[in-house]
Amino acid sequence: MDPTAGPEVLTVDDESRWRELLPAAAGVFGSVELARIRRDHAAVEPRLFAFPAGDGHVVHPLLLRSTASLALGEEAGRPLFDAATPEYSGPFAPTSPSPADRDAFSEALAGWCAGAGVVTEFDHLHPWKARTELLDPAGIEHDREIVYVDVTQDPDTLWRESFTQACRKNVNRARREGVRVFPATTEEHALELHRIYRLTMDRQDALDSYYFPPEYFVSFLDRLPGNSRILLAELGGRVIAATLFLHDEVDAYSYLGGADHEFQRARPTNAIVHDMIRWSRGQGIQRLVLGGGYAPNDGIMRFKSSFSPLRADFRVYRHVHLKDEYAALREAWRRRGGTDEGFFPPYRAEPVPPEPS
């Protein structure tokens, strides 16, 4: 690799090059296919920052969100953005970069962020793949424990030793109730997932940022068919639960889903997860990542834990690239009555307070 070569910063229009540097099979959340879905339906501008290192590249997928919509003033006099990585990503590299490459990557990323007006960076670090040695250790924080299932185990071992007794009971109950699990193949199926997901978010009083338009769910059938799987649970001809899973060569991930609370007794989500575990094993996938809960040992965490005793440390990374612009935005937020409250960046906490009269 030419040591004098600079970084490449790709957009979704650089589809073939993006796919060459970071194919969906290597990291589905950083894929150009998912980046294009998010650009069209989630109001972000994706970028892939690629830096030559060793015999390959460090690739760092980022989602840029403009600060203009925050209505906090125009203190900087130029467009500003906050960057976040997609879920389960962070900087990737085939091997651990040398100390010299680490310094060069950090310098190049900082330089690009300064020029592009990127104020902050918030990374959702992949527990096994993220090259955290490329990041400032002071910015890395433990976020939560997540649950994953080792799907390489034979089915009998999974059933007896990974699933709890309650989990086995609920999988069997779903079978006795007549719950049928099947993969989505049509737009109508994807819209059923949207309906179920929206019901779930409404029941949980979720923030606006957790909602997605119907087209977002349909897009996975059209644009990411080889690395996504929508599973629906049906009872008596009615869809009562649904989950969207993403997957690459090594990992499958529970991404978005929910259930109709009226039919909780039939345990349809247990049936969905059980189906995905069996399917993943058949595909040669190693882990099904179920994620964590909203709080330690809450109901969601207990449900996921019933499938596996295995845990991973999910970490995040917080970094301010443009200190003056960050201070101005934070001060404007405080003048509106906002507080830091541990959110990063604080001025993106919801809801935005109204202007004082």
pLDDT per position as a tens digit, 338-349: 887 788 999 998
CATH class of 146-313: alpha beta
Which segment of 4-13, 188-197, 299-308 scores lowest on mean pLDDT?
4-13
Instruction: Give Dmax over CA atoms of the chain in angstroms.
Output: 65
Q: What is the pLDDT of residue 355?
A: 42
- The pLDDT-based confidence of 209 (bands split at 50, 70, 90) is confident
How much is the mean pLDDT over the chain?
93
- The pLDDT-based confidence of 354 (bands split at 50, 70, 90) is very low
12-16, Cβ contacts within 8 angstroms, sequence gap of 24 or more: 12/36, 12/39, 12/46, 14/48
Can you tell me whether residue 177 is helix, strand or coil?
Answer: helix
pLDDT per position as a tens digit, 250-300: 999 999 999 999 999 999 999 999 999 999 999 999 999 999 988 888 889
| Cβ-proximal residues to 121 (8 Å cutoff; 6+ apart), any chain | 62, 82, 83, 84, 85, 113, 317, 318, 319, 321
Q: What is the mean pLDDT of residues 209-227?
A: 94
Q: What is the mean pLDDT of residues 155-171?
A: 97
Q: Which element (helix H / strand E) includes 58? A: strand 56-66
1 pLDDT exceeds 50? no
Q: Start-end ranges of CATH 3.40.630.30 in the chain?
A: 146-313
Q: What is the pLDDT of residue 341?
A: 74
Q: What is the pLDDT of residue 225?
A: 96
- Phi, psi for 10 (deg, rounded to 5): -100, 150
Q: What is the pLDDT of residue 353?
A: 44
Q: What is the pLDDT of residue 340?
A: 73
Which segment of 54-58, 212-216, 283-287 scores lowest on mean pLDDT?
54-58
Rounded Cα distance, 49 and 45, in Å: 13
